[in-house]
Structure 1
Amino acid sequence: MKIYSYILLSLFSACIFFSCSRSASNGENQQTEQQKDTLSNDSLLTLVQQQTFQYFWEGAEKTSGLARERIHMDGVYPENDQDVVTIGGGGFGVMNILVGIERGFITRQEGAQRLEQVVNYLEKADRFHGAWPHWLHGPSGKVKPFGTKDNGGDLVETAFMAQSLLCVRQYFAEGNDQEKAVAAKADKLWKDIDWNWYRNGGQNVLYWHWSPEYGWEMNFPVTGYNECLIMYVLAAASPTHGVPAEVYHEGWAKKGAIKSSAEQYGYPVVLNFNGNEGTVGPMFWAHYSYLGLDPRELKDEYADYWELNKNQTLIQRQYCIENPKHFKGYGENAWGLTASYSVKGYAGHSPKEDFGVISPTAALSSYPYTPEYSMQVIHYLYNQLGDKVWGKYGFYDAYSETEDWFPKRYLAIDQGPIPIMIENQRSGLLWNLFMSAPEVKGGLKKLGFSSPKI
C-alpha cells in the first residue's frame, strides 16, 4: 500500500509540475507574441532592415565581398552555384553597406573596408567594354555564363552596379584617406563603362548584351517601359562614354509610343509596359531604377515618375484585394507580385502572371510609395505568418498560402531593395547621394527631365 500510495503521489506531483511548466511555457509564448505585436512601426522597420542587411554582410561571398546570387537555408542548390556572385544584386548589396553604416549595424570603418574589398575585386574581374557580366565566379572573378550566349557584358546589371558606385563615391568623397581611395576607385570603375559601345554600331538604342564569342547574337535592344530606365540615365550621364539624347527618346521611349492612356482600378497606368497597353508589370520595375534615382517630382515629357510608381503599387494592391483567382491569403495584409521563386520554379509574377505567390519584397520595397499599406504587410508577415516566412536574413523570397508552400530561400536581387527603399523613405539616404552627383544632374537635364534636385 505504501508503494502504491507513493506512486500515486509521484504521479500527482508530476502532473502538477508539467501543468505548471506548460502554463509557464504558454505564458512565455504569449509574452513573446505580445512583444512582437507591440513592436512600433519604427522598431519593426529597423529590425527588417538589419536582418535583411545581413544577407549582404554576413552572407557575402568571401573573396569578392559581393552578394551571392542566392542563399538557401535548406542547403539545396543548383550544381556549382554556391560561389556565384551577381553584379546587379551585388550593386544592391553595396548600397546596403551604406544603409548599414548609417543605421549603426556596422561601423563606418567596417563598411569602408568591405567596400575597399569590393572595388578592388571589381577592378580585376572580367569586363567587356567596361561592362561586367550578369554572373561572376566569386573566387576567380571570371564570368560564369548566365546562358549559353550570355557570357559577356550585361549592361543592365552593370547599370545597377554603377548606380551604387556613384553613391559610394558621393558618400566617401570627403572622408579619410582610405575612404577617398575607395571613392576614387568607384569613380574610375563607373567612368570605364563604355555605354556607347552597347549601341551596337551606333544605333539609337542600347543593347542589353555583348559577348566576345557570340557578339550581338543575344539581340536584345532595350525599349521601355521596364526596370531599365537607370541604364539610359547613366548612359546619358557618362562623362567618358556617353550617348546622345536621341538614344533615349528614339530607343527607350520609342518616339513617345511609351506613353499610355490606360487606367486600372481608376489609376492611370502612365507608361506602356514593353509595348502592352494597360499592362502592369512585376513590382521590381518600380524599385530597381529608383534605388538611387529619386522619383519624387521627377518628370519628363513622358511621365511623372512618382505617379507612375505609386500607381503601379496601388493597382497591384487593389488586384490582390479583389483577388479574381481566389487565392488564399490575398488581401489588404498580403499583396505584391514580382519576379521571384514560385510554385512553378521562377516567375515574373504580376496581375497577368499570377500563381498565388506573394513575394515580400514587392510590398516592402514599395514602402516609399505606400508606407501605410506596406506597413500592414510587414506586420502581417512578421506577426501572423512568423517563422514560416521570417528567417536569418529577413523575410524569405516568396510563399504561397494556397499551396502551403513556404521555402526557406533567398535571392539577392529581391532582398537587396528592401533595406534601401525603406531607408529612402525614412531618410532619403540613397536618393540624396545619387542625385547629388554632378553627372547625374547633367544626364537628366540632357534627357529633358525636371526635378527639384537638378
Structure 2
Amino acid sequence: MSFNIPTPPKITRRSATKLLGGAILSSFAAAPLEAQQAAAPATPAYSRLLTDEDLAFLEEMERAGCLYFTEQADPATGQILDRATNKTATGEFDTHFASSIAATGFGLTALCISDRRGYQDTARIKKQVLTTLDFHLNKMPHEHGFFSHFSDVKTGRPLINVEVSSMDTAIFLCGVLTARAYFNDHEITALATQLYNRVDWPWMLNGGKTFSMGWHPETGFISTRWDHYSELMMIYLLAIGSPTHPISADSWSAFTRPPMTFGPYSYISGRDPLFIHQFSHAWFDFAGKRDAFANYFSNSITATRAHKAFCLGLKRGYTDDYWGVSASDWEHGYAAWGGPPLMGPVDGSVVPCAAAGSLPFLPHDCIRVLRALKDNFGKDAWGRYGFCDAFHPDLHWYDPDVLGIDLGISVLMAENLRSAFVWDIFMQNPEPVAAMKACGFHAARQTTNPSEPKPTAIPSSDQPVAPSTNRPHA
C-alpha cells in the first residue's frame, strides 16, 4: 500500500519545542538520577527529530488507521465497530456487530485528523461527526450521561452483561470535546456541549471520592474503583472541569500513585499494561507540567523505557527491532498482558500499538521498532488499516483483526508526535484547562536539571489492585 504524501502541516514554535523536549527528556529518562547528572552536557546538541522516511511511515500508518474510523462506522448511528478484519480489499462494513464507546471517541478525534490532513472530504467528515453526536445525545441509551462499554452498532442497545462504563465514556467525551474545538461549528458545538454537560459525575462516585469502574442495571455499581494511577486521569479532569455536574478537586489526590521500580527505572505505575501511560496523554497536554506528585509526561517516558527493557529481558525473542506488549488480542483471545511486572501469558507476541502509543515519549525507539515490524513482517501483519492488532511470527500467527481503541491510540499519538495537533486542539477547550489548574498543575522545571526532585508517590492501599481493563470479548 502506498500513498502520496501531502505537504506536512506547519509546526508552530510551541509544537517544535514540545516535540524536541520529548526527545531530550527520553534520553535522560533512561538512567537513574546520578547517571543523568554525570551525562548532562553543558550545551545540548540538537538534531532533527524525524527523518523523511520516518514521516512517510507515520503518514502511511495514520492514513490507514484513520480509514478504519470512516469505513467501520455505522452510517446511521456513527458508532464505531470494536473490531474488524484487516485483510480486506474493499473496506466494506464488517460483519461484527459490537460497537465500542471508546472506539467511537477515538474515532471522533481521528476524524479531526483526517480532515486536517485531507484524507477525506470535509463535508463527509462533518456529516459523520454530526450523526455521531446527534445519535449519542438523542437516541443512544445512557445512564446519568454515561454509556455502555459495548453496544449493538446499529441500534445502540447495550450488549448483554455489559457495564455502563465510566472510563470508556470518558474516552468518548475526549473525542466529543476534540470535535467541538476543531470544527468550531454551531451545530457540532451545541451537540457536543450538551453531551458533556449532561454527565452526572458525582453519581458515578457512588458516595466516595474515587470513581466506580461502572454500573450494571441489575446489580448497581461495580465495587472496584478507579483508585490507583492508570489511564484514569482523564475521568477526574473531565469531572472536575464540568460546568454543570463537577466533583471536588480533592478527588485528584484521592487515588493512589504507587511507586514502581524496575532495574534502574523508578516511576509511578500500577501493575497494569503499558496503555495506562498513554490513553490520557493522547488528549491532555501534560508536557512541561507537573502537579504536587509528578511530571506525568516524564513518568510515561520512564514507563516506556522500563517496558522496553522488560521485554528485552524476557529472552522470548524480543529485540530492539521487535518489542512491545500491551492489552490486546493474542492467539487464544484477549489479554490484559505486559509488564513490568510480568502480566499474563506473554509468549513472544508483539503488539504494535504498545510502541505506537508511546511515540511522543520515545520517538526514536518507537519509530525504529514500528518500521522494522512493517519491513520484516508487513506481508502478513499489515492490512487495509495498518498493523493487525498483534502477531507472533515464530508461531505463524497473525491476528486477522484490528481493534478500534488500539488503532486509535496509535493514530492519535503519531499525530501528536508529528504536530502536537490533538493536544493543541483539545486544550482549546476551557474545561480541561480549568481542571488542570484546579488540580495544581504548573510549569515544570526541565527534568534535565539535576536538581529536579523525583516524583512523590502516594503509597498504594492494602487492597489488591484490580487490572485497569476487564474487557469482555466481543
Please classify the TM superposition score into its range, dividing by the shorter chain length. Answer: 0.7 to 0.9
1:379 paired residue number:
371
Runs of 4+ in 1 over 4 A off after TM superposition: none
2:166 paired residue number:
155
Provide Cα deviations, 1:360-395, integer angstroms capped at 9, x if missing partner. 001012110111111111211111111211001110
1:335 paired residue number:
323
Q: 1:259, CA displacement in angstroms?
A: 4.4
1:276 paired residue number:
none
Within 2, Cα distance between the matches of 1:259 and 1:448? 20
Aligned residues: 384
Q: Retained in 1: the 8 A contact 2:75–2:128?
A: no
Within 2, Cα distance between the matches of 1:89 and 1:167? 14
Q: 1:86, CA displacement in angstroms?
A: 0.5
Which ranges in structure 1 are unaligned for 5 or more consecutive residues? 1-37, 174-178, 274-278
| Match runs of 1:19-418 below 5 Å | 40-73=53-86, 82-123=96-137, 124-145=139-160, 148=161, 150-151=162-163, 153-173=164-184, 179-200=185-206, 202-216=207-221, 218-250=222-254, 252-253=255-256, 258-260=257-259, 262-269=260-267, 271-273=268-270, 279=271, 281-322=272-313, 324=314, 326-328=315-317, 330-351=318-339, 352-353=342-343, 354-418=346-410
Q: 1:215, CA displacement in angstroms?
A: 1.4
Within 1, Cα distance between the matches of 2:357 and 2:113? 14
Q: 1:72, CA displacement in angstroms?
A: 2.5
Q: Secondary structure at the match of 2:393?
A: coil
Q: 1:229, CA displacement in angstroms?
A: 1.3
Q: 1:88, CA displacement in angstroms?
A: 0.7
Q: Retained in 2: the 8 A contact 1:61–1:67?
A: yes
Q: Secondary structure at the match of 1:142?
A: coil
Q: Secondary structure at the match of 1:410?
A: strand
Greater helix percent: which structure? 1
Q: Retained in 1: the 8 A contact 2:331–2:399?
A: no
Q: Secondary structure at the match of 1:40?
A: helix
Within 2, Cα distance between the matches of 1:172 and 1:389? 34
* Aligned alpha-carbon RMSD (Å): 1.9
Q: Secondary structure at the match of 1:48?
A: helix
Closer/same/farther in 2, CA of residues 350 and 247 from structure 1, 3 Å limit:
same
- What is the one-letter code of the residue matched to 1:327? R
Q: Retained in 1: the 8 A contact 2:229–2:269?
A: yes
Q: 1:138, CA displacement in angstroms?
A: 1.6
Within 2, Cα distance between the matches of 1:182 and 1:44? 32
State yes or no: 1:438 paired with 2:424: no
Q: 1:82, CA displacement in angstroms?
A: 1.5
Q: 1:451, CA displacement in angstroms?
A: 4.5
Within 1, Cα distance between the matches of 2:117 and 2:62? 9
Within 2, Cα distance between the matches of 1:316 and 1:294? 22
Within 1, Cα distance between the matches of 2:198 and 2:398? 43
Q: Secondary structure at the match of 2:220?
A: coil
Q: 1:114, CA displacement in angstroms?
A: 1.0
Larger of the two Rg values belongs to structure: 1
Q: Retained in 2: the 8 A contact 1:56–1:66?
A: no
Q: Retained in 2: the 8 A contact 1:343–1:355?
A: no
Provide Cα deviations, 1:60-101, integer angstroms capped at 9, x if missing partner. 2232222101103479xxxx9722111011100110001111
Within 1, Cα distance between the matches of 2:411 and 2:374? 16
State TM-score, norm by structure 1.
0.81
% identical aligned pairs: 26
Q: Retained in 2: the 8 A contact 1:92–1:413?
A: yes
Q: Retained in 1: the 8 A contact 2:86–2:388?
A: no
Which ranges in structure 2 are unaligned for 5 or more consecutive residues? 1-50, 89-93, 445-474
Q: Which has the higher contact order (CA 8 A, sep 6+)?
A: 2
Within 1, Cα distance between the matches of 2:225 and 2:310? 31
Q: Retained in 1: the 8 A contact 2:87–2:383?
A: no
Within 2, Cα distance between the matches of 1:430 and 1:64? 24
Provide Cα deviations, 1:92-136, integer angstroms capped at 9, x if missing partner. 011000111111101322221110111011111010011011012
Bigger Cα displacement from structure 2, 404-413 vs 360-369: 404-413
